[in-house]
Amino acid sequence: MSGSMRNLALWGAASAVLAFLLLPLLIVLVFAFDASSVQVWPIHSFSLKWFYATWADEEVRSALLVSLEVAGLATLLASVLGTLAAVGMNGLSSRAVQVGSFFLTLPIALPGVLTGIAMNSFFTALEIPFTMVTLVIAHTTFCTVVIYSNVMARLRRLPRSLLEAAQDMGATPFRGFASITLPLLSGSIVSGMLLAFALSFDEVIVSTFTSGSETTLPLWIFGAIRLGQHMPEVNVVVFAVVAVTLLPIILGQKLAASASRE
């Protein structure tokens, strides 16, 4: 095979793989505008009517509220825990950082169903009923690592001299943290929070085991697809969820990019 042929084959294969990654998402977005109530390709007529119908659906709305609440609370808690972990670990030996990172990553590194059943056994053994509280605890647990790794990446690039200068000038550790470290980290914390929010907003596996009677939006989608009910509404909700999760990602990427240029 000549060099140019090889190049052509390489680019062809790469494009095909990229299409395999992206086309399904595109298809799912298009179906939200399908006027029909059964999913058949090609789509015959387009309409926004299912957007109105979905917005009017009480079940969808309450699921959306639960999801926003859980993701919001979990993100807030995780941002505090994740930032503390990163700042506390910064400056420790690399061995200690490795062990700490390993523990923080466990909740997302282990198979989801394992984390789910483990937390389920925990709350069951302690006779804690499954409510919004257990859901928030579970989500906080696996969101913390997202904030942690974002902040940690920023801290690694931050010159230590800044903090030391603050201490030399007589600032208490707390003052130094509040007036120097935190403002410098804010970009990475916010972009971490956006990613954590997206992660929580979309989570279904651990949620199933910790939600009790609460229905988050992903749990609603999961149930509806499984039972084959409300499919046109599923299309719309899926469209919205993709849009809602993509937005923070794109924003987060932008923030991270601008933070690294600072």
Partner 1 sequence: MTDRRKLLGHLALLLPPFGWLTVFYLGSLFALLLSAFWQVDSMSGEILHEWTLDNFRILATDSTYRVIAERTIGIAVLVTITDIILAWPLAYVIARKVGPRMKLVLLVLVALPLWSSMLARIYSWRLILGHDGVLNWFLRTAGLPEQSFAFTNVALWIVFTYLWLPFMLMPLVSALERIPASLPDAAGDMGATPFQTFRTVIFPLAIPGMAAGSVFTFAVTLGEYVTPMLVGGAGSEFIGNVVYSNVGVSGNIPFAAAYSMILLVVVGAYMLLARRFGAFDGA
Site for partner 1 in 75-104 (CB under 8 A): 80-82, 84-85, 87-89, 91-92, 100, 103-104
Given 53, 68, 76, 106, the residue binding partner 1 (CB under 8 A) = 106
Residue type (1 letter), 10 = L
Q: Which residue number, 183 or 228, has a Cβ lying nearer to partner 1?
A: 228
Residues 138-157 that bind partner 1 (CB under 8 A): 138, 140-141, 144, 148
Q: Nearest distance from residue 12's CB to partner 1, in Å? A: 8
Judge contact between 164 and 91, C-beta under 8 A: no
Q: Does 46 bind partner 1 (CB under 8 A)?
A: no
CA separation, residue 128 to residues 86, 124, 125, 210, 212 (Å):
30, 6, 8, 11, 11
The residue assigned the tokens 């647990």 is 141
Q: Does 62 bind partner 1 (CB under 8 A)?
A: no
The 173-192 contact track toward partner 1, x by CB under 8 A, reads: x-------------------
Given 158, 204, 212, 251, the residue binding partner 1 (CB under 8 A) = 204
Given 64, 70, 107, 215, the residue binding partner 1 (CB under 8 A) = 107
| Distance from the first to the final alpha carbon of the chain | 47
Q: Which residue number, 125 or 169, has a Cβ lying nearer to partner 1?
A: 125
Q: Which residue number, 66 or 81, has a Cβ lying nearer to partner 1?
A: 81
In order, the DSSP letters of 4-42 are HHHHHHHHHHHHHHHHHHHHHHHHHHHHTTB-SSS--SS
- Kindly determine how many residues on this chain lie close enough to bind partner 1 according to the rule CB under 8 A: 80
Helices (H), the chain: 3-31, 49-56, 58-89, 94-109, 112-125, 132-157, 160-168, 173-176, 182-202, 205-210, 217-227, 231-261
